[in-house]
Chains A and B, each alone.
Chain A
Amino acid sequence: MRRERVPIVVVVPAAIGAAFFILPLVGLVVRSPWRDAVTALTAPDTIEALKLSLVASLSATALGLILGVPLAWVYARVEFPGRDLLRALTTLPMVLPPVVGGIALLLAFGRRGLFGSWLDSTFGITLPFTTAGVVMAETFVAMPFLILTVEAGLRSMDRRYEEAARALGASRWRVFTRVTLPLIGPSLFAGAVLCWARALGEFGATITFAGNFPGVTQTMPLAVYLLLETNQEASFILSLVLLLISLLVLVGLRHRWLGSA
């Protein structure tokens, strides 16, 4: 096949578009003080923020799997009035400014919130300013990515395998765990990784709903933001760490998608 020349009206804006994304990354890499990288990364505050970020984002992913996969299944398999509206509501945080999400969470689950005041008076549980609050904020913002990815996987899978298994006498639960889940494995994996990456980078909802305290609610993105005011070099290095993780996620997922295509 003869390769057509790419028209210049496409190449120029495309190149500018690419540069727009790449230049900030170059800036970060160039300005990062590599010599101080080890010091910055092993500072107690950094380690604390890293640990908290890992724990919270993994918990958010686990919560996302437990609640999001059934939700995706309902969206893909059950016809009911208002399904599209419900799907829109449960995936709203994808486009909602995270700070707005944080305010909404406060009004629902805060100490004076609709549901939070009951939690407080009945069980003495308050969520703001706790690690559980961080997990909630992250789940709120990140789970929609998992829901949509898994739903797409469920819709595109070949349902005849499920029917065959049912016909051979397998229970619905057995079909779900032995047939459906393995078949949607790639989208399940992709959804979980996307959800995890989004949770790891969460800032707005976390600082609004959970606050900011080292070791309890100060995750990596919060530490990066605050370090910009006190120790810029350390903040550059931490940004770079988050950047590398995100890059790894995307490159890793690309493989996954190509492999399953």
Chain B
Amino acid sequence: MRKRIGLVVATVFLAACGGSGGTASTSPSPTSLSGYISVFAAASLTASFDALGTSFHKANPGVGVNLDYAGTPTLVTQIEQGAPADVFASADTTNMDKLTADGFTTGASRVFAHNQLEIVVAPGNPKGITGLADLAKRGLIYISEGPTVPAGKYSLQALTTAGVKVTPKSLETSVTAVISKVELGEADAGIVYTTDVAAAGSKVQGVPIAAADNEIATYPIVAVKGTKSSAAASAFIDYVVSGAGQSTLATFGFLPAS
């Protein structure tokens, strides 16, 4: 999935300036940063990073933001195969550590958010699922993310902690794929992040997981080695970690970085 913030907005911005003859603006003074940055972010960050990208661009009109979302391991593979990423936002530390160990990052990664797991079911919870143990019910179609996808790994850990033995019917490639199959009614339940359930709105419903079994996901962000817009890339990272970025993330249900 891909979203481009900048070109169109910039054109509108210029047109507005030209039309008004350069009246004083009330927004904070724009920075001198310019260029284009490509942000590769975990699929579970889709809605929140769309918002962060837009507000970052507002504060830095010279910087266009290109957002690419996929399952975290897919992003790591793409970056290692030479995809032109400037910033990488991971849904776990394992994939971040892998990218760092392979020499594709510059500077230390910074934790910018935490997330929790929730069971996703159809609206109205037709199968009456109340917790992890219910996922093992006969005839219930439970699907998971694959074990390399952070959410899949966390799901497995949560199920193990809870002592629930259940074999998923499918190992999907991302959190978003799991949600869409529950939304379509092909699967009865999956385990995703609380933020994903919130982002999906009324199309699905969340069932909380007992705190003792739940996993806390850690989201680190880093600049990718060889980025041609390192100033803009670190400005974006600073923005995500800043108070403004943190409050945006909080509105999407993420837990604070610290």
**Is chain B's binding surface mostly helix, strand, loop or mixed?**
loop
The yes or no answer to A106 lying at the interface (CB within 8 A) is yes
Q: Which residues of A contact B184 (CB under 8 A)?
A: 106, 110, 112
Partner-contacting stretch, out of A148-156, A185-193, A225-233? A225-233
In the complex, chain B residues whose CB is within 8 Å of the CB of A211 = 143, 169-172, 181
A234 to chain B: closest CB distance in Å? 13
CA distance A218 to B77 in the complex (A): 20
Q: Measured between alpha carbons, how far is A229 from B172 in the docked complex, in Å? A: 13
Chain B residues in 8 Å Cβ range of A126: 141
- CB contacts (< 8 Å) of A226 on chain B: these are 146, 148, 173
Q: Number of residues in B with C-beta < 8 Å to the partner?
A: 19
In the complex, residue of chain B having the shortest beta-carbon distance to the beta carbon of A229: B73
Q: A210 to chain B: which residues have CB within 8 Å?
A: 170
Complex Cα–Cα for A129 and B144 (A): 12
Interface size on A, residues (CB 8 A): 21
Q: Does A111 contact B (CB under 8 A)?
A: yes
- Mark contacts of B112-155 with chain A using CB atoms, 8 A cut-off: 1 yes-contact digit, 0 otherwise: 00000000000000000000000000000101001010000000
- A207 part of interface (Cβ distance < 8 Å): yes
Contacts A129-B141, A229-B76, A229-B77 hold; do A213 and B186 have CB atoms under 8 A apart?
Answer: no
A217 interface contact, C-beta 8 A:
yes
Give the secondary structure class of A's interface: loop
CA distance A228 to B80 in the complex (A): 11
Q: Point out the residues of chain B lying under 8 angstroms from A112, CB to CB.
A: 184-186
When distances are taken between beta carbons in the complex, the residues of chain A under 8 Å from B73 are 229-230
Nearest CB in chain A: distance from B123 CB, A:
13
Asked if B185 and A129 make an inter-chain contact with CB atoms under 8 angstroms apart, the answer reads: no
A212 touches B146 (CB 8 A): yes
Given A211-B143, A228-B77, A229-B148, are A111 and B170 neighbors across the interface (CB < 8 Å)? no
B77 adjacent to A213 (CB under 8 Å) = no
Nearest CB in chain A: distance from B92 CB, A: 13
Q: Which residue of B lies closest to A112 (CB)?
A: B185
Known: A228-B77, A229-B74, A229-B148. A212 touches B172 (CB 8 A): yes
Interface residues of B (CB under 8 A from A): 73-74, 76-77, 141, 143, 146, 148, 168-173, 181, 184-187
Q: List 14 A-B contacts (CB under 8 A).
A: A106-B186, A110-B184, A110-B185, A111-B185, A126-B141, A129-B143, A129-B186, A211-B143, A211-B172, A213-B169, A217-B170, A229-B74, A230-B148, A232-B77
